Structure 1
Amino acid sequence: MALDLLARARDAVPLVPRSEDDCCMRLVNAGVVAARDDASEWLTFARALELVAESDRGYHRVRDAPDPTADPGRAALADRFRERVFGADELLAALAAADDGLTVAGAFDRFRDRIPNWERRRHTDTEAVWRERVEHLLDWAAVLGFARWDGDRYRAA
């Protein structure tokens, strides 16, 4: 389950700050992800959810972070997802406004204009990268109870 994976990611990050490279390798070694680039994205996501923090010495696990696998923890993470994860609130609003739900392509079309310019310059295939990110956001919206997947479309829960 995705929330178990998120808990494993949180637990892989040490309490004592370590470099991004070290934390990424810990995520790979814990089986959270297969590649370092993916680990970096997980660190960023966990930071947005306030499961880990970054200091001048590196990343570290937040001691009193909510347990993603427990009901109160999931509720806290859902709030943080909506408030702190780039694009989440906009996609949730688009889902709420779509009477027939949204496919990933439809959600991406509604989100496309929000992609920051620096991100457009950073990737050779910005649309492919961001279409995948939109899909991940929709998947997390479903995991956290904001949406549901009916096999064809995401719909507001």
Structure 2
Amino acid sequence: MPPEDRSPTGRTGRAPDAAEDYRRKTEREIFVLSRRMKGAGHPAPLGDPTTGVVLVVEQPVGPRVLDALQASLVAVGLPDAYVTYASTGLLKEELLATEPHALVAVGPGAAREVDGLGHPLARTPFSEAQEGVPFAWTRGTSGLRLPSLAPALPDDANKRRFWRCFLVLKDLAG
């Protein structure tokens, strides 16, 4: 569910705790970024930005790719993982807002986009990482590079390759 469609949290009448404050702050920041994305003609991000799992999908992305990605996330027990897109110009701000513990680049375009951010604490560039093998992107964030999803949809060999790599996400996010 896009962040702007979720009801606000923290309306319980009790004093908010640190986790609730973090969730509200993150949702507020992502709501603003989502509006900016949509205003620039990009699709809105999907999922819960506070799950700690962020997938960056290379552009262009269509409904068939998003449906397949959502089905894959459900299959590995991560239906609420946050999904966003490369080439929006807002990825750096999204990563700062979400502070993921697992960052996944879906396709080489997404890997180049993440590398292009020039994160000062990045240890291993996504473009140098082996597909389907987790690596330390920063001290607190594991990275995972996946093959492109769009070419995998009509081709069984590419579909199996994508799925083998994608299954690693289940353990990485756990």
TM-score class normalised by the smaller sequence: 0.3 to 0.5
Q: TM-score scaled by structure 2?
A: 0.32
